[in-house]
Copies of this chain bind each other. A is one copy, B any other.
């Protein structure tokens, strides 16, 4: 079933059928009705490939997700999906490993899929600096700040990771903690991991807290198991910390279990704070203290910015989503 068949069936020409299907003007009401009727009856849908070939672009929006075990991105993708679903653009989701180069991947997908725009979840600024010039469509980097890169088609929506991590640490210090352990991201492959690490460092320095970056900090992947393993290692190192900062809620959850398995109670023996503000955290026992980023707001703004760039040729924007340190039940005063 093609518009040709439809034309034959209704007695009109393909051009008129196409006009009706695309809501173009210069079609008689009579023709519109007749053609729409035929469309209904046959369940006809335009062939996207032909349409897009003709129009020299697809109408899809591409999302590249870096790292699959971090539930925060899962949640982000869902919100993005539901925002994009309000439009007529199909969403192409591509998951890549935490260690892969997201920009090269995007470049390749652009040539293949010709998306209207791209959202990249998680990214490494160096990758952007090196290869982003090969991307021409609007792009929003979600979760890292790209304002100092100055690409005219690259926006970003992020949390001020460094300040947020510092705030979280400040809160722990205010609760009386002095000895800390850190389960962070890999500082080399993850901007987010690096910034949150620096924020912690800032706080330690400001408060004169001792901190051995080789023994008190372990950088791993964003997953439950990695959080668990890293924490076991920190305990084994006998650093006797009273508080643990995890650079992601998934790690914090792994950490809490590791503490428990080593005979330590949360928060009585060790306070734990995570980062992200996953919905899940509020259902745990104890409720996970965390640096809450409004994942929903992040998704909404990212999509809004992207659509503005796509539809109105809007300028690239760099936004920071506010965070809130939420001390719940996994932290306590000592």
Is the CB of A141 closer than 8 A to any CB of chain B? no
| A213 interface residue per 8 A CB criterion | no
How many residues on the A side are at the interface (Cβ–Cβ under 8 A)? 48
User: Per-residue 0/1 for A72-95: is the Cβ within 8 Å of any B Cβ (1 yes, 0 no)?
Assistant: 001000100110010000111111
A50-68 CB contacts (< 8 Å) to partner B: 50, 52-53, 58, 68
B-side contacts of A152, CB under 8 Å: none
A228 to B284, CA, bound (A): 11
**Counting CB contacts under 8 A, is A221 at the interface?**
no
- Whether B285 and A285, one on each chain, are in contact in the complex, defined by CB atoms closer than 8 angstroms, is yes
Closest residue on chain B to residue A84 by CB atoms = B95
Q: Contact: A49 with B43, CB < 8 Å?
A: no
Contacts of A58 in B (CB 8 A): 48-49
| Contact across chains for B228 and A256 when beta carbons are under 8 A apart | no
Interface residue stretch chosen among A111-119, A168-176, A187-195? A111-119
A50 to chain B, nearest CB (A): 5
Binding site for B on A (CB under 8 A): 43-50, 52-53, 58, 68-69, 71, 74, 78, 81-82, 85, 90-95, 107-108, 111-114, 134, 224-225, 228, 253-254, 256-257, 260, 266, 279-280, 282-285, 287
